[in-house]
Amino acid sequence: MVVPFLVFDGTRYTIATAMMCLYDALRAIWSFVRGVETDTDWSYCPSVAVMIVGLNEGDTIQHALESVYDTYPRMELYVVDDGSTDDMAANAAEFAKTHRGVTVLSRKLRGGKSSAMNMPLPMIKSEIVVVIDSDSHLAPGAIWNIVQPFKDPRVGAVSGSVSARNPYVNLCTWLQAMEYRRSIFLGRILLSRLDVLGIVSGALGAFRKSTLDKFGGWDVGPGEDGDLTIKFRKGGYKIAYVPEASCLTNVPTQFGTLTKQRRRWEWAAITFECRKHVDAANPLGKHFNLNNFCMMIERWVFNVLMVYLTVAYLGYLFFTRELWAIGYLALMFYLIYAVCDALQVAMLLYYSDQKLKDLRLALISPLMPAYYAYQKVVTLIAITEELFFRKSFQSNFVPERVRNATWHW
């Protein structure tokens, strides 16, 4: 029973998150006993450039702009249209006519998200660059919250929290919505505490402008958010996470589209952690530190090694156990996972600022073990095709002329 329990991540975060939650609860009780109140700290107010990059987002761009505009005092706002064929640029330009400080940039040929984000960098004079997706909607106070960790000069980038804007369209979106709350909202609280957070959300992330300039912006290619985050870590900068800085984004409504998206995400485990940035785990390398090493080991073990061990273990069961025994093991695994899932939901509710919404989302929990098993299959396919075929450099997520001119890690 131990092998599948570990392989399917049953204990990956449960024990560590429970310890973190217990510690925070005891601190909260102690603060209450002492009569200490904790107020929202918005004392830091650096200049900010918000960058909204999109392709064919004519229907959502104005909504995204409205959720950002006039929510922070020292802000410039850039919209980058990456070669859209719809009215995205026109709608953004119409918004800019009646709103000061909004700059709209449009390119005739699509260059991919990375090159689009690099486009306004020479024009930006602000201290902090905040990047959001054009289909995202920021929660109140998101910009204020996401810039606060930059008070620490060691912080190079800050990730916000991302939740599903369309959770109840169908089963596919509901499962993702619950996954986002557990993996992004709750999971990244733990990873940031342990200082092993290896990604800044593409839907809402903030970067110190001087550090962006130092590293030349985003490398052109797929997986730009994780790639830049690891570069910052290798440069000695800390990566912070602010769950209060949240945004809503649309998640795929069909499993076919979701599979394509997750394959692209999982390619990064090979492209970056196993190839491009493997030196971060080299004890003799100049970019080595213990936290980076732990981050890389975590990715190698749980996103690569354990996936293949899962296949090997299932094959072993198939050839050495009778069907009733396999069914018994599957049932036991499900029950153990259900207990861990219930603990995760309880801890999510402890940290959540939308407890009733998350409690409603949690009604899908009995189906989550099957959903995560599906995700493991997608991960298996993705890492295999990237290991042997470098599939990430065949993806249309980046235009062919651009990916052909990019180094294939």
User: Which pLDDT score, from 0 to 100, does residue 51 have?
Assistant: 97
Same domain, 301 and 338: yes
* Percent of the chain as helix, strand, coil, to the nearest 5: 55, 15, 30
The least confident of 5-9, 26-30, 135-139, 342-346 is 5-9
The percentage of residues in the chain with a pLDDT greater than 70, rounded to a whole number, is 96
Closest residue by Cα to residue 50 from 25, 76, 74, 73: 76
The least confident of 150-164, 168-182, 188-202, 319-333 is 319-333
Same domain, 142 and 56: yes
Q: Residue 29 domain-assigned? A: no
What is the distance between the alpha carbons of residues 164 and 178, in angstroms, rounded to a whole number?
Answer: 9
Same domain, 165 and 302: no
φ, ψ for residue 39 (rounded to 5)? -105, 155
Looking at the structure of the chain, the number of domains it has is: 2
Q: Which ranges of 209-322 does DSSP label H, i.e. alpha helix?
A: 209-214, 224-234, 255-271, 290-300, 306-320
DSSP letter, residue 220: S
- Residues spanned by the domain of 301: 2-21+275-398
Same domain, 355 and 390: yes
144: CATH: 3.90.550.10
As a whole number, mean pLDDT of residues 126-137 equals 94
Same domain, 295 and 388: yes
The alpha carbons of the chain give a radius of gyration, in whole angstroms, of 22
Same domain, 189 and 73: yes
Strands of the sheet with 75-82, listed across from one edge: 102-107, 75-82, 48-54, 128-133, 204-208, 155-164, 238-249, 136-138
Same domain, 14 and 88: no
Q: Which two tokens stand for residue 204?
A: 């809402």
Same domain, 13 and 89: no
Q: Residue 242 domain-assigned? A: yes
36: confidence class by pLDDT, cuts 50, 70, 90: confident
What is the distance between the alpha carbons of residues 50 and 227, in angstroms, rounded to a whole number?
Answer: 20
Confirm if 245 and 160 have CB atoms less than 8 A apart. Answer: yes
Summarised one tens digit per residue, pLDDT across range 237-273 is 999 999 999 999 999 999 999 999 999 999 988 999 9
Q: Which ranges of 84-169 does DSSP label H, i.e. alpha helix?
A: 88-97, 113-118, 142-147
Residue 5, pLDDT above cutoff 50: no
Q: Residue 220 domain-assigned? A: yes
Residue 1, pLDDT above cutoff 50: no
Q: Residue 267 domain-assigned? A: no
As a whole number, mean pLDDT of residues 144-167 equals 97
User: Which pLDDT score, from 0 to 100, does residue 243 have?
Assistant: 96
Confirm if 237 and 151 have CB atoms less than 8 A apart. Answer: no
Same domain, 163 and 115: yes
Same domain, 10 and 52: no
φ, ψ for residue 162 (rounded to 5)? -125, 130
* Mean pLDDT, rounded, of the chain: 91
Beta strands per DSSP E along 108-237: 128-133, 136-138, 155-164, 204-208
Neighbours of 328 (CB within 10 A): 13
10: confidence class by pLDDT, cuts 50, 70, 90: low
Region class of 101: left (phi > 0), else alpha (psi between -120 and 50), else beta: left
The least confident of 62-71, 132-141, 205-214, 391-400 is 391-400
Same domain, 15 and 61: no
User: Which pLDDT score, from 0 to 100, does residue 11 have?
Assistant: 64
What is the identity of the amino acid at 363? L
Summarised one tens digit per residue, pLDDT across range 353-398 is 999 999 999 999 999 989 988 999 999 999 999 999 999 888 888 8
Q: Residue 223 domain-assigned? A: yes
Neighbours of 252 (CB within 10 A): 18
User: Which pLDDT score, from 0 to 100, does residue 15 have?
Assistant: 87
- What is the pTM assigned to this prediction? 0.93
* Dihedral of the alpha carbons of 260, 266, 271, 275, in degrees to the nearest 10: -160
Q: Is the dihedral of CA 267, 268, 273, 278 positive or negative?
A: positive
Q: Residue 85 domain-assigned? A: yes
